[in-house]
Structure 1
Amino acid sequence: MSELNQMKCEACRADAPKVSDEELAELMGQIPDWTPKAVDGVMQLEREYKFKNFKQALAFTNKVAEMAEEEFHHPGILTEWGKVTVTWWTHAIGGLHKNDFICAAKTDELLEN
């Protein structure tokens, strides 16, 4: 499988397939710092990033927003003093699509830039 952070999101329609349990296990191996969780019955990926202050957290939030616009796939982002919580899921299908894993990997990569 290609590196997730090198892939591009594909357009997702309401009839697109959600990731299977087998795919979930395989994809999670590539983004081990993320947590899959169900919120109101919808599977999502979540990760909390820690920062020294609000300014750094806000700068990271802006990087995530720019990447999300480039991919045309948008997460939930909660920015607080010293931390940012990012949540990926695909609204159109009410669950997880491969796009969410691609964007999670790209979010992790933003820490290095």
Structure 2
Amino acid sequence: MTLADLPTHCSNEVTALSEAEVSDLLDQISGWRLTQGALERRINFPNFHQTMAFVNAVAQLANEQDHHPDMHIAYGRCVVRFNTHSVRGISVNDFICAQLVNAMQPTSA
């Protein structure tokens, strides 16, 4: 499975990915790591205003996808974490949303 194979919108009909599938997809997506059963990315910003603009954009994306991350916000940074509670693991929905977040903020690490 590759990132290009994934649909562009989250689905309610998902299952947990295997460790091998998660590892394969994680190798294909920039900036994300596996942390405590979730996909996680820390993104830095020059100021609080840009941090909050990003947080609001992620909130809009999450509502559109009906897949909501945990976010930890501080001055100049935001940590975004995706996992799928209903499958108690990581699903394709998490990778779909991670790709969409990367499209909003492609060069921050």
Q: Which TM-score tier does this pair reach, normalised by the shorter chain?
A: 0.7 to 0.9
Corresponding residue for 1:76?
Answer: 70
Contact in 2 for aligned 1:51/1:57 (Cα 8 Å): yes
Let me know the Cα RMSD of the aligned residues.
1.8
TM-score, normalized by length of structure 2? 0.87
Are positions 1:33 and 2:27 aligned together? no
Q: How many residue pairs end up in the alignment?
A: 105
1:1-113 to 2 correspondences below 5 Å: 1=2, 3=4, 7-12=8-13, 16-38=14-36, 43-111=37-105
Task: Show structure 1 runs of 5+ residues with no match.
Answer: none
**Contact 1:89-1:96 at 8 Å conserved across structures:** yes
Residue deviations 1:21-45 (CA, integer Å, cap 9, x gap): 221122112213101022xxxx101
Q: Using the alignment, how far apart are the partners of 2:3 and 2:81 within structure 1? A: 23
Write the letter of the residue equivalent to 2:85.
Answer: H
Identity %: 33
Is the contact between residue 6 and residue 92 of structure 2 (CA under 8 Å) also seen in structure 1? Answer: no
1:70-91 deviation line (CA, Å, top 9, x unaligned)? 0000000111100010000011
Judging by fraction of residues, say which structure has more helix: 2
